[in-house]
């Protein structure tokens, strides 16, 4: 391991506030290193002014910091231009803008969109709201028998010529890393616009949007050690320019009269209203922090955590494991035979183990798996082997209690 | 069809729990023993026919499903419930709530604070935190029966 876990944990003040807890709900939100909190504090205490608008020098300072944050994200993703980074409030908001924006200019009645069985509701419901009522049809890539993305079925469904393919980079419920290089390549060969939901994937591996040739990539700041309320919709210029803005208002216009308005250039056209300035600066600080860390060591550590936890769970015979330990970004989903996941999660909560129970905003996936839900253990770079062992002991206690 | 005797049978079971299990729960200090009892309370209730697992009786919770049947005696104004959940802990918690309100008149129910029992037993420190397990929704539904 190329990092010192103790000094890494010390950078996260949350843990000193809650020394009794084991936090394994990292897929829901990550904790924030001090560097992120400091950057946001500095912004509010020293640079706060509204960006792009006011004539004064203070506003220009704030604008410079805000646009520098955009450049940081652009470099992080290796986007060609900074204006290809659209600030959103998170992946969900990004998807709503994206789907709304595609309707009309790209998608019309009779067109098809292809998603997968593993999608989060954020990559399902916006299609229901903004696309299906206008005659767009949604096709779904099924799971293989071992709950993986079915590339063969995907290739077949691409023959239906979907205009847009929208797939998760990493499954939020099962943790599987999807074969995104193949997904993008095959979609491009079929002539589709490709969207990747990076909410869970962005923290796992470095994304080079140009090398990958993906058309849209979305993620949330808070799942990348950054603040809540900020996210990114990356898009290639040619496609972003097609999008109809979902939100109208200040900043996104060139001219407005009472009868009509003309829209501003990218990225502002898709960023109506005062943006989340401190959020953008916090997210950039998180990225700069992450770039100083050893991402490969993080990956190896998370994989080792998953392996150890998975192996421990296999020793408890009544557990049914829904996700396997290979090509897994740090999530183990499981159930206790004949018991409700909520009961298991409550008994873990009693032992100060923070996990999530339910269908994890992926109800259709659980319908496909034919289970009520699961208890999800999600691991991050700052979790330790000792925490895994204590969690396994707590799990054994909970299982014993439920077996009585 | 809802079998009317489900309400009288449930009332009997709730009284038994009130007499037998509540004093026990009040004495216990460690969480394991308390949850052990909590998780067996559901077995005391009469069978909840699976045909009552209907959407009209479903209380929307996030993690688990809960079905609540309600009957008010037109003469005495007393309220009676029957209940089921697919999760054992929520079922136990709701049963404890129902021991506090089942059979109360409309006037009494308006004044009732059944959630205090859970705080007293240190089973749910803050009722507002229980939104996700459906308990708060059940509690709101019970109070909305008025």
- The pLDDT of residue A321 is 96
Task: Tell whether the model's pLDDT for residue B128 goes beyond 70.
Answer: no
Q: Where are the beta strands (DSSP E) in A149-307?
A: 164-168, 193-197, 216-220, 231-235, 253-256, 261-263
Q: Which residues of B touch A350 (CB under 8 A)?
A: 31, 35
Q: Which residues of B touch A341 (CB under 8 A)?
A: 63
- For residue A347, the distance in angstroms to the closest alpha carbon of chain B comes to 8
CB contact under 8 A, A357 and B63: yes
Q: Which helix (H) or strand (E) holds B101?
A: helix B88-101
- The pLDDT of residue A152 is 98
Size of interface A-B (CB pairs under 8 A): 39
pLDDT tens, residue by residue, A6-49 = 999 999 999 999 999 999 999 999 999 999 999 999 999 999 99
Residue B35 is nearest to which of A339, A350, A373, comparing CB atoms?
A350
Residues 6+ apart with CB under 8 A from A178: A116, A118, A149, A167, A168, A169, A170, A171, A201
The arithmetic mean of pLDDT across residues A144-158, rounded, is: 96
Burial of A129 (0-12, 13-18, 19+ CB in 10 A): exposed
The arithmetic mean of pLDDT across residues A325-352, rounded, is: 95
Task: Tell whether the model's pLDDT for residue A360 goes beyond 70.
Answer: yes
For B69, phi then psi, to 5°, come to -105, 145
Nearest residue of chain B to residue A374 (CA atoms): B63
Q: Under an 8 Å CB criterion, which residues of A touch B?
A: 339-343, 345-347, 350, 357-358, 372-373, 397, 401-402, 404
Measure the CA–CA gap between A53 and A63, rounded to whole angstroms: 9
- The pLDDT of residue B140 is 83
- For residue B15, the distance in angstroms to the closest alpha carbon of chain A comes to 24
- The pLDDT-based confidence of B123 (bands split at 50, 70, 90) is confident
Domain coordinates of chain A in residue numbers?
5-31+294-403, 37-291
A230 versus B140: which is more confidently predicted? A230
Whether A30 contacts A227, CB under 8 Å: no
Nearest residue of chain B to residue A360 (CA atoms): B63
CB contact under 8 A, A343 and B36: no
CB contact under 8 A, B39 and A397: no
Q: How far apart are the first and last CA of chain B?
A: 23
Nearest residue of chain B to residue A375 (CA atoms): B63
CB contact under 8 A, B86 and A340: yes
Q: Which residues of B touch A357 (CB under 8 A)?
A: 63
The arithmetic mean of pLDDT across residues A213-241, rounded, is: 98
- For residue B87, the distance in angstroms to the closest alpha carbon of chain A comes to 5
- The pLDDT of residue A98 is 98
CB contact under 8 A, A346 and B31: no
pLDDT tens, residue by residue, B14-46 = 999 999 999 999 999 999 999 999 999 999 999
- The pLDDT-based confidence of B64 (bands split at 50, 70, 90) is confident
Task: Tell whether the model's pLDDT for residue B133 goes beyond 80.
Answer: no
CB contact under 8 A, A343 and B32: no
Whether A201 contacts A170, CB under 8 Å: yes
Residue B64 is nearest to which of A340, A350, A404, comparing CB atoms?
A340
- The pLDDT of residue B122 is 87
Which residue is listed with tokens 């993080």?
A: A298
Nearest residue of chain A to residue B34 (CA atoms): A401
CB contact under 8 A, A343 and B87: yes
Residue A401 is nearest to which of B35, B63, B87, comparing CB atoms?
B35
Q: Which residues of A touch B88 (CB under 8 A)?
A: 339-340, 343, 402
pLDDT tens, residue by residue, B1-13 = 677 799 999 999 9
- The pLDDT-based confidence of B136 (bands split at 50, 70, 90) is confident
Whether A170 contacts A323, CB under 8 Å: no
Nearest-5° Cα angle at A307, A301 to A310: 140
Measure the CA–CA gap between B83 and A107, rounded to whole angstroms: 48
pLDDT tens, residue by residue, A102-117 = 999 999 999 999 999 9
The arithmetic mean of pLDDT across residues B114-134, rounded, is: 74
CA distance to A87, A193, A219, per residue, from A83 (Å): 10, 19, 16
Q: Determine how many CB atoms are found less than 10 A away from the CB of residue A199.
A: 27
Q: What is the CATH number of domain A5-31+294-403?
A: 3.90.1150.10
- The pLDDT of residue A2 is 61
pLDDT averaged over every residue in chain A: 96
| Fold entry, domain A37-291 | 3.40.640
Residue B73 CA to chain centroid, in angstroms?
18
- For residue A397, the distance in angstroms to the closest alpha carbon of chain B comes to 9
Task: Tell whether the model's pLDDT for residue A122 goes beyond 90.
Answer: yes
Q: Which residues of A touch B87 (CB under 8 A)?
A: 340, 342-343
Task: Tell whether the model's pLDDT for residue A306 goes beyond 70.
Answer: yes
Candidates A124, A332, A361, A375; catalytic one: A361
Interface test with A, best of B87, B88, B129, B136 (most A CBs within 10 A): B87
Measure the CA–CA gap between A106 and A318, rounded to whole angstroms: 50
A381 annotated active-site? no
Choose the weakest-confidence range: A211-220, A255-264, A299-308. A255-264
Domains, chain B, ordered by start: 5-143 (3.90.1010.10)
Measure the CA–CA gap between B18 and B21, rounded to whole angstroms: 6
Measure the CA–CA gap between A396 and A392, rounded to whole angstroms: 6
Q: Which helix (H) or strand (E) holds A100?
A: helix A91-102
CB contact under 8 A, B63 and A404: no
pLDDT tens, residue by residue, A265-287 = 999 999 999 999 999 999 999 99
* Closest C-alpha to A76, from A309, A295, A245: A295
Q: Determine how many CB atoms are found less than 10 A away from the CB of residue A11.
A: 17
């Amino acid at each position: 391991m190329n990092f010192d876990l103790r000094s890494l944990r010390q950078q996260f003040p949350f843990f000193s506030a809650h020394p009794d807890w084991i936090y394994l709900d990292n897929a829901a939100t990550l904790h924030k290193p001090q560097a992120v909190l400091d950057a946001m504090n500095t912004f509010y205490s020293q640079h706060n002014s509204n960006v792009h608008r006011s004539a004064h020098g203070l506003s220009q300072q704030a604008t410079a910091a805000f646009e520098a944050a955009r450049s940081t994200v652009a470099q992080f993703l290796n986007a060609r231009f900074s204006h290809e980074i659209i600030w959103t409030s998170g992946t969900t908001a990004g998807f709503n803008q994206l789907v709304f924006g595609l309707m009309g200019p790209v998608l019309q009645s009779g067109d098809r969109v292809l998603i997968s069985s593993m999608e989060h509701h954020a990559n399902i419901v916006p299609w229901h709201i903004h696309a299906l009522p206008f005659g767009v049809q949604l096709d779904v890539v099924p799971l293989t028998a071992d709950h993986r993305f079915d590339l063969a079925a995907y290739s077949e469904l691409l023959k239906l010529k979907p205009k847009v393919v929208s797939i998760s980079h990493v499954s939020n419920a099962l943790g599987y890393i999807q074969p995104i290089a193949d997904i993008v390549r095959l979609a491009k060969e079929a002539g589709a616009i490709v969207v990747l939901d990076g909410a869970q994937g962005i923290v796992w591996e470095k994304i080079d949007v140009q090398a990958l040739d993906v058309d849209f990539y979305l993620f949330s700041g808070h799942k990348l050690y950054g603040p809540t309320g900020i996210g990114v919709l990356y898009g290639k210029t040619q496609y972003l320019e097609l999008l109809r803005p979902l939100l109208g208002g200040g900043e996104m216009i060139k001219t407005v009269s009472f009868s009509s308005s003309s829209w501003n250039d990218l990225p502002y056209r898709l960023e109506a209203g005062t943006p989340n300035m401190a959020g953008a600066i916090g997210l950039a600080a998180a990225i700069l922090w992450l770039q100083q860390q050893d991402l490969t060591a993080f990956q190896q550590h998370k994989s080792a955590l998953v392996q150890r936890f998975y192996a421990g769970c296999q020793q408890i015979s009544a557990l049914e494991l829904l996700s396997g330990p290979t090509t897994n970004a740090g999530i183990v989903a499981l159930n206790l035979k004949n018991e409700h996941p909520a009961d298991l999660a409550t008994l873990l909560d009693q032992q100060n183990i923070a996990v999530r129970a339910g269908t994890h905003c992926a109800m259709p996936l659980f319908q496909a798996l034919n289970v009520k839900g699961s208890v999800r253990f999600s691991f991050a770079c700052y979790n330790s082997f000792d925490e895994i062992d204590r969690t396994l002991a707590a799990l054994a206690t909970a299982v014993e209690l439920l077996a009585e | 069809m809802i079998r009317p005797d489900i309400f009288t049978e449930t009332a009997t079971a709730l009284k038994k729990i009130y007499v037998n299990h509540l004093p026990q729960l009040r004495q216990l200090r460690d969480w394991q023993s308390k949850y052990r009892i909590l998780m067996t309370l559901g077995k005391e209730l009469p069978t909840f026919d699976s045909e009552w697992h209907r959407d009209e009786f479903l209380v929307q919770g996030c993690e688990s499903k809960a079905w609540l049947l309600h009957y008010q005696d037109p003469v005495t104004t007393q309220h009676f419930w029957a209940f089921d959940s697919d999760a054992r802990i929520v079922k136990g918690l709701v049963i404890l709530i129902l021991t506090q309100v089942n059979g109360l008149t409309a006037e009494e129910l308006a004044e009732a604070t059944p959630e205090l029992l859970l705080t007293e037993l240190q089973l749910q420190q803050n009722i507002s935190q229980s939104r996700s397990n459906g308990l708060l929704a059940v509690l709101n539904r019970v109070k909305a029966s008025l």
